[in-house]
Structures are given as C-alpha cells and as structure tokens.
Amino acid sequence: MTEFELIDRYFRRPARRARLGIGDDCALLAPRAGHALAVSTDMLVAGRHFVDDADPASLGWKTLAVNLSDLAAIGARPLGFTLALALPRIDEPWLAAFASGLFACADAHDCELVGGDTTRGPLNLCVTVFGEVVEAEALRRDRADDGDDVWVSGALGRAGLALRRIGDDIDASLRDALDRPVPRVALGLALAGVAHAAVDVSDGLAQDLGHILDASGRGATIDVATLPTGSELASLASDDRERLALTAGDDYELCFTAPVAARDAVLAAARSAGTAVTRIGTVTAQPGLVLRNAAAADPALAGFDHFA
Ligand code: ADP
Ligand code: MG
C-alpha cells in the first residue's frame, strides 16, 4: 500500500465545514467574521505518553481529545484538525482501529480532519487543532482577577488513580478516564464571555491553576475539602485522595475563574453543557497558592514553593 492509498483508505473523508479538506497542498478553513483562529498542537509519543501495545482505538480518541481540550480551555469552537503520523509499519487492523477512535472523537465534537502528514518512523501521533473564538471572549490564562471564584469541572484524580492501577482489573469507566478523556468543549464554549480565565487540567490542578495565577500575577486560596473527586477515590485515605486531586494529571477537566457576579451564569453554562462544576476557592491579589482545610500537611504539596 502506498502512502496515498493509506490516507484514502483510513483518513480521507469529504470536507464538510472546511472550504478545502484532505488532498491539496493546504486545507482552507474559514473562521466566521469577528472570530480569531485558535490553534493548538499536542504530540503523543510511544514509550513516553503511551505503551507500544496500547489499544489503538483509545489512542485515536485520546490523540484528538487532548487537543480539543486545549480549544475548550480557551473557549473556542472546533473547526478542524491535522494529523501528523509516524508509523513503524503499515498495520491495517491497527490503522482501522486507530481511525475509528479518532473519528469517534472527531464526530462527537464536530471537528473534521482536514490534512496531515504520513511517514515511516517510530510511532508518533501529532495533532494540530483549529478553532474559532470571539477574541474578547477568549478564556486567556492572564485574565484572572482579584476576588474571582475558582471553579473546576467534573471530578479530579480519576485518571491518576487509573494510571496507578494500570495492570489491575479496574472498572471500564475508570479506565476510560485515563484512555478516553472527554474534552469539555461544550463547557468551554458556554463559558466564553462569562468566565475570565481557564486552563485544562493535564498536569494536575495545583500546577495548572498555577499557570493562570502566574500569567495573571495573582494568587489563590483553595478549600481542599471542596475539591470534587471521583467516587472511585472515596475509599482512599483523605490525604492520598487530596494528593491525587491536586497533583495527578490527565483528567482534562477545566479549571477556570469567574467574577462572583457571574455565579448564576456559570451554573447556567454548566447546565447547558451537561457538565457539573464546583466552586473551590478565590483568586487573591497576593501571589501564592494557599491550601485551606487539607487533611494532612503534605510534603509533596510543600514542593509548590514557586507559588510562594
Ligand atoms: P504534500 O507532499 O503536499 O505535503 P502529502 O503528499 O504529504 O502532501 O499529503 C497529500 C495530502 O494528504 C495532503 O492534503 C495532506 O494534508 C493529506 N494527508 C497526509 N497524511 C495525512 C494524514 N495522516 N491524515 C490526513 N490527511 C493526510
Ligand atoms: Mg504539497
């Protein structure tokens, strides 16, 4: 099979929203008038982000999902994506499964594949997503303000727990938290123009919220007892559960700040998106992340001195 046959068989679909899709030298995307183009790239590398024999359908889903999560975190509507693929060999069952997971995620979030590159090499999956957002409504990291509420969507620590239990016989829903994260695209869209700043939680809440605080020149007080954690974490010791909620990555929830006056609007946005949100703290003028009501003075958390 040639490279072009491979693209035709597994990746080429008729363009819907794009003016020009796969098959030319460039794709042509047309954001609506008054919108800025939102662009983000994320790469998944075998051996670093996943094991070589990872389920290809889940891999296809996650490759796109982690990119869509970045669009969600800035409040953008997905337009399309490109896929740069390095494959050690042409393995048709693997490709068919990978494409099915990829397109399941693409269809669920109305984001079409518009181009890419295919080459032989160590397995490497790189997606670039394109979206559109009204520039003044973009949920930029540097827009948090004193007195803003800090919110988080969904539940934290589930992917981290799944990672810890890899190889064990765990529930499919917990495995999916790690393998098939659901990007909060609808929530991000509903929050654009309502919230001030947002970030997606890929590296742990404390670190990712830290990016907002650093960019905004602010601090925050977080009430650790209010952090939403998955039911699967209920049987853990509270200090362990808190550590997962604050430091485990890969949940791809949104952490965002919004003015107190927007509380009702935030709850309405969450309802319209079908995603739960929880208020977990307050943005402060004083830089630094202060953790209130933690079960234990955790040495792992004491390492956050760059917030101090
Ligand atoms: P070029 O040589 O002009 O860069 P290629 O020969 O690499 O183009 O690719 C031919 C067409 O197929 C282009 O439109 C490109 O965007 C698309 N394409 C290549 N690889 C992929 C892929 N993995 N997924 C989707 N489209 C792809
Ligand atoms: Mg060309």
Mutate to test the pocket of ligand 1, among 85, 114, 117, 126 (most ligand atoms within 8 A of CB): 117
Rounded to the nearest angstrom, the distance between the alpha carbon of 12 and the centre of ligand 2 is 16
Q: What is the pTM of this model?
A: 0.94
Ligand 1 atom, smallest distance to 117 CA: 20
pLDDT(3) > 70: yes
- Looking at residue 302, its pLDDT comes to 39
Ligand showing the shortest atom-to-Cα distance for residue 84: 1
Whole-angstrom distance, CA of residue 122 vs CA of residue 248: 28
| Element spanning 271, H or E | helix 263-273
Query: Which ligand is in closest contact with the Cα of 23?
Result: 1
pLDDT at 28: 97
Q: What is the pLDDT of residues 8-45, one digit of tens each?
A: 999 999 999 999 999 999 999 999 999 999 999 999 99
Give the pLDDT confidence of 100-136 residue by residue, as tens digits: 999 999 999 999 999 999 999 999 999 999 999 999 9
Quick one: which of 293, 292, 287 has its CA closest to 305?
A: 287
Residue 1 has pLDDT above 90, yes or no: no
Minimal CA–CA distance to 66: which of 255, 250, 248?
A: 250
pLDDT score of 301 more than 60:
no
Residue 210 confidence (pLDDT) above 50? yes
pLDDT tens-digit profile of 274-294?
Answer: 999 999 999 999 999 999 998
Question: Which one of 11, 22, 98 would you pick to mutate in the ligand 1 pocket, going by the greatest count of ligand atoms within 8 A of its CB?
Answer: 22
The ligand 1 site (C-beta within 6 Å) comprises 7, 11, 22-25, 83, 85, 113, 115-118
Q: Which tokens in the block code for residue 301?
A: 């958390």
Q: What is the pLDDT of residue 308?
A: 37
Per-residue pLDDT, averaged over 71-75, amounts to: 98
Nearest CA to ligand 1 atom 14: 23
What does the pLDDT average to over 201-216? 97
- Structure tokens, 147: 């007195």
Residue nearest to atom 8 of ligand 1 (CA): 25
SS3 98: helix
- Determine the atom of ligand 1 nearest the C-alpha atom of 23: 14
Choose one of 1, 7, 83 to mutate for the ligand 1 pocket test, by most ligand atoms within 8 angstroms of C-beta: 7
Among 245, 266, 133, CA closest to 196 = 266
Average predicted confidence (pLDDT) for the chain: 94
Q: What is the dihedral of CA 39, 185, 143, 281, to 10 degrees?
A: -150
Dist CA 150 CA 222 (whole Å): 8
Residue in 8, 81, 98, 118 to alter for ligand 1 test, most ligand atoms within 8 A of Cβ: 118
Distance 184 CA to ligand 1 centre (A): 29
Q: Give the H or E element holding residue 66.
A: helix 56-74
Integer Cα distance of 229 and 246 in angstroms:
10
Nearest CA to ligand 1 atom 10: 23
| pLDDT computed for residue 57 by the predictor | 97
**Distance in Å, CA 26 to ligand 2 centroid:** 7
